[in-house]
Homo-oligomer: A and B are copies of this chain.
Amino acid sequence: MRQQNVRTLSLVVCTFTYLLIGAAVFDALESDTETERLRIIETVRQELLGRYNISGSEYKLIETVIIENQPHKAGPQWKFAGALYFVTVVVAMIGYGHSTPETVGGKAFCIVYAVVGIPLGMVMFQSIGERLNKFTSVIIKKMKKMLGCTTTEATDVNQLCVTGTLSSIVMTAGAAVFSHYENWNYIDAFYYCFITLTTIGFGDFVALQKENALTTKPGYVALSLVFILFGLTVVAASINLLVLRFMTMNTDEVKAGDYEMQD
């Protein structure tokens, strides 16, 4: 079997094993809390049904109305500042889902917008990330020269350390800022920053959703957008190093493979 096929296959096996292990751990960590929560839901539902004499079907209706309107509870999301927050979250592929298009036109435009915006955003983040890597490599070389090292090359490992450290600083500093503005505890704020900058974007914690922040605190809106864009750049620089290096390595081998096939 060709070398790249073997590598791809081992990656698939690794990833699936990793997924199975992860599923087992989360099952162990979260299942008990969840069972407890399901019990609470039932208790509360029964109590409400009894106390206010609500029928089962009416409770379902109330539940639906409250959940459907949840995104709107935090105040208007589609005035300009909110819409800007939304498109940033789309182009960066974070997708909190704190507010999503309700109209058919909005959904269709969202698809068209993302088809162009995502490649544009990816290329931009990678481009800035690559510039950042260039900049750190120059700094590393100068530092090594100053320290009188025998080799003044900036290796991949050197650079990965620098951008990795920078990513951690952005996350820990960001966590402090958001825990202050959003009244989250530090762990939750760090979790928010991590989930945002890895572009997972669960949406269980979303900045700018309290006290009409989108309309009343323009400074904080700007700060949040800058955090997302700058943070993603730094993380993109790390990922640029980690993954791109692997991918181009792979591409080189493919070219070698091409010659093999032509022989």
A217 at the interface (CB under 8 A from B): no
Number of copies: 2
- Contact across chains for A83 and B26 when beta carbons are under 8 A apart: yes
Name the contact of A131 in the complex, choosing from B4, B95, B201 (C-beta under 8 A). B4
Contacts of A90 in B (CB 8 A): 22, 200
Chain B nearest CB, measured from A211 CB (Å): 15
Given A93-B200, A97-B96, A191-B111, A44 and B65 contact (CB-CB distance below 8 Å)? yes
A24 at the interface (CB under 8 A from B): yes
Q: How far is the CA of A38 from the CA of B95 in the complex (A)?
A: 22
Given A7-B127, A8-B131, A243 and B198 contact (CB-CB distance below 8 Å)? no
Q: How far is the CA of A22 from the CA of B120 in the complex (A)?
A: 13
Contacts of A38 in B (CB 8 A): 72, 76
Given A41-B73, A127-B250, A20 and B84 contact (CB-CB distance below 8 Å)? yes
Query: Chain A: how many interface residues by the 8 Å CB criterion?
Result: 114
A139 at the interface (CB under 8 A from B): no
Chain B nearest CB, measured from A259 CB (Å): 13
Contacts of A250 in B (CB 8 A): 126-127, 130
A263 at the interface (CB under 8 A from B): no
Q: How far is the CA of A138 from the CA of B124 in the complex (A)?
A: 31
A244 at the interface (CB under 8 A from B): yes
Q: How far is the CA of A51 from the CA of B70 in the complex (A)?
A: 21
